A and B are shown apart, each in its own frame.
Chain A
């Protein structure tokens, strides 16, 4: 059974940093491209970042470019999102999702940016 489990969310002050993790199981992680998608409270879905199966190519939404870094560890079936210089508008539930048609999603982890 395919499973994606996010962790690392929490409360952080504006300007702070946070690192999200996504642990994958039930499939050959190294063969699949992965994404981060977020959803602000009461709002719609926003794609955040993409990474190819072997670590490249990498793409970001304009809203996070230069502040967020997506990476992966295929040996440990894990996906990461390093988030720096966080802003209030980054407050959202962050999901990891597989493929470009996001066929599997994690349960999400809440990031709250507030002083």
Chain B
């Protein structure tokens, strides 16, 4: 199975900061990497698919990039509504659409 290692586990940021979350795959997954945002008590929401494509309706301050088996989610100028938990997920290998462990973004 492919393992997805996400870091950091949590981070604190102030409004307007730029934050970066990283996800590393245990083997090549091409660009079959997706990012989700989840707020307490709610279903996850797709932000980025195929490593760098912005899902319709998602603000452009969210962006994704890839370098080999390393993937990055960047939030430019964090807004109050961005404080949530973020997950990466690989959709390359079936069975097993593995998620990362999650990163909790908290307000500083």
Closest Cβ of chain B to A38, distance in Å, is 11
0/1 string, B35-75, CB within 8 A of A gives 1: 01010000111100110000100000000000000000000
Q: Which 3 A-B pairs have the closest CB atoms?
A: A59-B95, A105-B43, A100-B91
In the complex, B98 has a CB within 8 A of chain A? yes
Determine the chain B residues whose CB is within 8 A of the CB of A46 once the complex forms. Answer: 99
Assembly CA distance A100 to B91 (angstroms): 6
Q: With contacts defined as CB atoms under 8 Å apart, how many contacts are there between chain A and chain B in the complex?
A: 56
Q: Is the CB of A44 within 8 A of B43?
A: no
Interface size of A by CB at 8 A reads: 20
CB within 8 Å of B: which residues of A?
A: 35, 44-47, 50, 57, 59-61, 95, 100-108
Closest Cβ of chain A to B85, distance in Å, is 8
Q: Is the CB of B46 within 8 A of A50?
A: no
Assembly CA distance A57 to B49 (angstroms): 22
